[in-house]
Amino acid sequence: MNAENAKAASELLAFYMDAGVDVLVGDEPVNRLDGAPPRAPAEKESPRETRSQAPSLLHVSRPIRAGEARAATIAPPDAAMTAARQQATNAASLEALRAMLEQFEGCALKNTATQLVFADGNPQARLMFVGEAPGREEDLAGLPFVGRSGQLLDRMLAAIGLDRTSVYIANIVPWRPPGNRTPTPQETSTCLPFIRRQIELVDPDVLVSLGQPSMQGLLGVTDGILKTRGRWFVYHTGTREIRAMATLHPAYLLRQPLQKRLAWRDFLAIKKALDG
């Protein structure tokens, strides 16, 4: 294989990995980790016989991340949620909570993500934003909302006189789902105790959930985001009550720019709440 073909193959594999592809389907099972070449079909095997065989899963030939070797040790769902609740409760600081998440083995997303995406901004801020999960850019940077949607969020904050030094930003799920897919209910439930403890430790005056999944997870609202956004709720931390609002996710606004007018109203209400 010449250099040009090798480069093209490498870029194609990188695209598959970003899209969440982790297996190939073929007629013969081949373990590409043992170095043995694929076994060729028997010469007398007819095309019809070949097509009738049940397909088998083939491992993609790619480097194995250190976390993937631990995939077999992921705890059962109930045990993982119980461990998350217990560990989150014991975190006395944001630094301790981050260290717990670095060591937590109850969420399989940790094994496919590049790194933990914990938070960004000022832990002493009066305003806290919570999204759903990091995307590709966030996964690479280790910070939430740094891609196109994050840049839009920065402009929205600037419009009301704020920036990342005056807010705190996190996600319900701190690891990127493969291919930027939506986290499963199990993954969200497992991570919820950690973000709830994170909110308690930051102790903001105003809490804003970005998008419907964050709204449903934190505020327990089942109505749609367009019906719910802009309304004030009460978020209970266990020690105090925090004013909370759901607004449209910046990624949604990039797809539906006409809805920015609704988000602008929400941000004006947030500013008024902070000023008041």
Element containing residue 81 per DSSP (H, E): helix 77-90
On whether both 35 and 113 belong to a single domain, the answer is no
Are 27 and 84 part of one and the same domain? Answer: no
Domain count, the chain: 2
Q: Is residue 54 located within the same domain as residue 87?
A: no
CATH number at residue 105: 3.40.470.10
Q: Phi then psi for 127, rounded to 5 degrees?
A: -120, 130
156 plus 35 within the same structural domain? no
Q: Which of 46, 66, 86 is the C-terminal boundary of a domain?
A: 66
Q: Is 234:204 a contact under the CB 8 Å cutoff? A: no
- Same domain for 117 and 48, yes or no, is no
Please tell me whether the overall predicted TM-score, pTM, comes out greater than 0.85 for this model: no
Report DSSP state, residue 220.
-
Query: Are 102 and 191 within one domain?
Result: yes
Q: Which residues are CB-neighbours of 148 under 8 A, at least 6 positions away?
A: 251, 254
**What is the pLDDT tens value at each position of the chain, 276 positions in all?**
677 777 777 777 776 666 666 556 666 666 655 655 555 544 444 444 433 333 333 333 344 344 444 444 556 778 888 899 999 999 999 999 999 999 999 999 999 999 999 999 999 999 999 999 999 999 999 999 999 999 999 999 999 999 999 999 999 999 999 999 999 999 999 999 999 999 999 999 999 999 999 999 999 999 999 999 999 999 999 889 999 999 999 999 999 999 999 999 999 999 999 998
What range does the domain containing 195 cover? Answer: 75-275
- 185 and 205, same structural domain? yes
Query: Are both 62 and 155 inside the same structural domain?
Result: no
- Whether residues 107 and 180 fall in one domain: yes
